[in-house]
Amino acid sequence: MPRKAMDSLTEAMFYVLMSFSRGNMSGIDIAEDIVRRTNGRLHIGPATLYTILGKFEKEKYIQEILVEGRKRTYQITPKGRSAYHDELIRLQRCIEDAESAKGGYL
């Protein structure tokens, strides 16, 4: 595990970015999307979710585009999309490496 946070995207961060594949999202939409997408395997606590959203906003991975009453809607930025794809490639390589290691002592 990295000793310093944000060296790479964490699982929750990755899923938060992934949830934007459905379009613009609010905080509660993201939480629901992740539970649905992972069939209940991953629940994101509200503090974790809003810390990630705050961090992403600061890093310009997402931006707030709409405030409707109490609901705030965010949109992923090209920088956020690029961070998501970089992480996806890294994870795919991990899987490929793991696949090639099959048949040994594992």
Partner 1 sequence: MSQKKKHVYRLCPCDICDIESIQSWLEDMAAQGLFLTQESAFCGFFTFEKDSPRKVLYRLDVAQKQKPRFFAGRSDLTEDEIEAYKAMGWEYLFLYGDFRIYRSISPNVPELNTENQTHALTVGYLKRSYRKSFILVALLVLFWLLHAGSALSYAYMNILIAGPFFAVCVYCFLLLATFKTFARLRKLRRFEKQLLDGVGLHNYIDWKNQVFSSYFLRVVPVVLCCGLAISLMTTWLRSSEKIPLDAYPEEPPFATMADTFPDAVSMESHVWLDYGTAVILENPLATNIEWNENCDITTADGENYHCIFLLDYHEVKNEWLAKGLEKDYYIYDSHRFSKKRFQDQDVPDLGIDSVRVYNCYGSLYVLMRQDNRVAHAVVHLDNRTDQNQWLLWAKAMAQMMR
Which of residues 1 and 95 has its CB atom nearest to partner 1 in the complex?
1
Distance in angstroms (rounded) separating the CA atoms of residues 76 and 42: 21
Would you count residue 5 as binding partner 1 (CB under 8 A)? yes
Q: Is 43 exposed, middle or buried (0-12, 13-18, 19+ CB in 10 A)?
A: exposed
Rounded to the nearest whole angstrom, what is the least distance from the CB of residue 32 to partner 1 in the complex?
9
CA–CA separation, 90 and 35 (whole Å): 23
- Binders of partner 1 among residues 18 to 57 (CB under 8 A) are 26-28, 31, 43-52, 54-55
**Which residues contribute to the site for partner 1 (CB under 8 A)?**
1-6, 10-13, 26-28, 31, 43-52, 54-55, 67, 69-72
